Amino acid sequence: MTTADRPRVVLGVAGGIAAYKACEVLRRLTESGHSVRVIPTESALNFVGAATFEALSGQPVHTGVFADVPEVPHVRLGQQADLVVVAPATADLVARLAQGRADDLLTGTLLTARCPVLLAPAMHTEMWEHPATRDNVALLRSRGVVVLEPASGRLTGADTGPGRLPEPSEIVDLARLLLERPDALPRDLVGRRVVVSAGGTREPLDPVRFLGNRSSGRQGYAVARVAAQRGAEVTLVSAHTSELAAPAAVRTVHASTAEQLRAAMLEQSKDADVVVMSAAVADFRPVSSAEHKIKKGAGGPPTVSLATNPDILAELVELRPEGQLVVGFAAETGDESGSVLDHARVKLARKGCDLLFANAVGDGKAFEQLDNAGWLLAADGSEVELPTGSKALQAARLWDEVSARIG
């Protein structure tokens, strides 16, 4: 990919303590093939120096409009960008953008940008919840700006609460999503309660070993993350994952075995509008688990008796309250009896869910990968092919279908 072909991203950095995390956002963007121009505010340079941003981006860093005047940077940078990301976006930056201010290079660039704009807020809880900030956020969203819901956690000093900057990996995933599809994060799930399962269950053989699967949990986490940023109240029931960071603005419940996951899903889904069963549940479990590590012996490997795990998706469908929409997942390989799509159609009919996300696995597909592809099958007989894209993009496509069905 030539320099001219690389997606052009402007990374704005406002003056908050979370400015240091912008370095990780920058690193991830540049290493994934994006051309990134950093525009900090003057106050941001109190936290991270210009030399750091220049070294990581390979591009000059300015804060005012009087540098490189012949290039008219406060106009050109916004006009030429494919995406503008501001991380962190402080309460002051949000207010200035809402007012249409253009008193430095960053706000001038934001006013001239006609590409997607993504703000990742970071501020104290009281500031995030203040009516002025809430009004500014609502106004910006009405203008098409994507303002992320912040994470909840440790803030400056001993304070804790909503207002924490989402993890850099999450910001970059959502930035990539907007580059793939600028309209992927509408606020169409506001007022909806969503429950999502993700990750792979583990069934213990002994204190060391288990029966499980290769699910990384990335797709399920993406489904939860996108739902939250589209306005839903999301509970994520998480089995084992590849050490994924909890999505911002998502309540997380942890489970290990299929039985634990079943109990959590039945409890959490009682009053949900939408339930998405994307966890990879082990089909079988050992009848008993050894109290101590099983040792190699002269008699050869031990015989392990297996029992069938409960069908959580079918049970969720059977017990769902009126009006609840249930989405299942099917990871298939295809065999002599049928293709991936053939098996998925049979599973949809057998489970009775409203929608089924089907995808091929194995040979470097789906499991432990950043991208995915597949089909979205519906109980009414419709089928939508999902071409290869990021797992966040597949999540957005899923929520498009769900949103259209729940009105």
Q: Where in the sequence numbering do the catalytic residues fall?
A: 213
Query: Rounded to whole angstroms, how far apart are CA atoms 278 and 41?
Result: 41
Torsion sign (Cα): 39, 45, 48, 49: positive
Alpha carbon distance, N-terminus to C-terminus of the chain:
42
Identify which of 228, 240, 165 has the alpha carbon closest to the alpha carbon of residue 204. Answer: 240
268's tokens: 């959490």
